[in-house]
Each structure stands twice: as structure tokens, then as C-alpha cells.
Amino acid sequence: MMNRMNKLLKTGSRDIFAALKGYELAGLLGWQDIRQRYRRSSLGPFWLTISMGVLIGALGLVFGTLFASSMREFLPFLTSGLILWTLITTSLNDGCMGFTAAEAMIKQISLPLFTHILRVLWRNLIIFAHNIVILPLVLLIFWIPLQATAFLSILGLVLLMINLSWMALLLSVFCTRFRDVPQIIGNLLQVFFYVTPIIWMPQMLPKRASIFLLDANPFFHLIEIVRAPLLGGLPSLLSWQVSFLLALAGWIFTILFYGRFRSRIAYWL
């Protein structure tokens, strides 16, 4: 039993480390995806920034009025939350297609397969970098100074990405075998969008509901470790703990799972 576990760990981590070592290839392919999408437009990926800005403006107007919350508080919250949520949801949705989209490559060249997942993550991180420029603009409009805690959000972002990488890898293996899983994941993420405080603020909840919607929701903690320091607060210890343990447990499980099924991926395509 232990022996078999060791073997799986070894097979899985070998591929993952090889992919990390060849990060240059994943980076190049990720950039290429962005370039390909926006090749013939002069604004390029900033189109995304614009549409994100419009979305934030519209949602901010509707929900800010609806909840009768102060725009000065609500809009920065919505902006950072929505941009982070977009990073999460596109990483996972694209992650589902990580291997199926790279079918031609996987069937012809022997590369570490995790490279295709890194490519997806990198692509979405680039898009995130384009979107996040909206936040300083919003802060500027309301004349809210960026606090020193903002540096902590970098640590939070790293931890978030570590979590997203195991999720994307795990989903990708699963979606290659079962082709109806991407739709299921898409639906689930849609539900999480509403139950996670992104377009509504945690303090709007009655006390009892918050245990289910906040403490038991991993996505709340993952967003919180980046969002709270960006907005000048500190994430709760619980959020750090959950995010850290989730990364640890998630990666161990994923490496075992990946070690078991890695060699089957080319066959499933």
C-alpha cells in the first residue's frame, strides 16, 4: 500500500516538476493564446479591461442601490471581488479543457502534461493583470489610499494560484475522461458566484447564515486572502488556515490521482 502510494507520488510529481522546469514553454504558449485572441485589435487585451469596467459599473450601480450601501465601501469591494472571481472561474473552466484543447500536441510530442495546465493558468493570470488596473482607478475616484497591507495580497495571490493549479489539474484529468464534467463544473461555479460574497458584502448577512456561506465556503477564504489586504484590512486567521490546508491536501490528493491516471490521458483524447 505504502509502496504503491510512493510510486504514484513519484510518477505524478516527476511530470509536475518537469513542467515547472520548462516553465518557459508554458509561458510562451500562454502569451501566444492572448496574442492570438487580440491580434487584430489595436487595444488588444485591454478590451477585457474595458468590458470588466463596464460590468463593474453596471453591477455596482444596481446592487449598490439595491443594498443601499455606501458606494465608497461597496465599489472597491465589488471591483476586487469580481476581478478575483473572474480569475478563479476562468482558470477552472479553461482548466477543464486543458488537455482536450491541447489534443494535437499531446498526441504528437511527449511533453510534461502539466505544461498544458500551466499554460492555462498563465494565460488567465495575464488577463487578471489587465483587469486589476481597474482597482487603482476605483480607489482613486473615491480617494481611498492603498494601505501597506496591500503587499500581503501578493502572498494571498500566490496561495490562491497554488490552489487553482491543483484544482485545474484535477479537473482537467477528470474532464478528459468524462466529457460532460465541464458543464457540471460551469454550473457549480455559477452557484458559487452567488453564494460567495462578491456582489454582496458579508456584513449584509444575518449572523447565522454566515457560518454556511462564509466559513464553510472555500472560495470565500481564497478570495478573502487577496481581497482583504487590497482593501486595507487583514484576512482572518481562519481564511489563511483554510487556504493553506486546502493547498496542501489538494496537492497531495491531486499528485496521487495524477500519478495514477497521467499515462491514460493520451489514450482518452
CA distance 178 to 140: 47
Residue 58: all three cell numbers together: 453596471
Using CB under 8 A as the binding rule, the residues of this chain from 157 to 186 that contact other proteins are 177-181, 184
Using CB under 8 A as the binding rule, the residues of this chain from 186 to 245 that contact other proteins are none
**Residue closer to other proteins, measured from CB, 79 or 172:** 172
Query: Can residue 267 be called a binding residue for other proteins (CB under 8 A)?
Result: yes
Least distance in angstroms from the C-beta of 179 to other proteins: 4
Least distance in angstroms from the C-beta of 117 to other proteins: 16
Query: Can residue 105 be called a binding residue for other proteins (CB under 8 A)?
Result: yes
CA distance 30 to 188: 26
In whole angstroms, what separates CA 54 from the centre of its chain?
21
**Residue closer to other proteins, measured from CB, 106 or 214:** 106
| Residue 269 one-letter amino acid | L
Least distance in angstroms from the C-beta of 256 to other proteins: 18
Query: Can residue 108 be called a binding residue for other proteins (CB under 8 A)?
Result: yes
Site string for other proteins, 236-265 (x = CB under 8 A): ---------------------------x--
Distance from the first to the final alpha carbon of the chain: 30
Using left for φ > 0, alpha for ψ between -120 and 50, and beta otherwise, residue 178 falls in beta
Contact 67, 204 (CB under 8 A): yes
CA distance 170 to 172: 5
Chain residues binding other proteins by CB under 8 A are: 24-25, 28-29, 32, 35-36, 39-40, 104-111, 177-181, 184, 263, 266-268
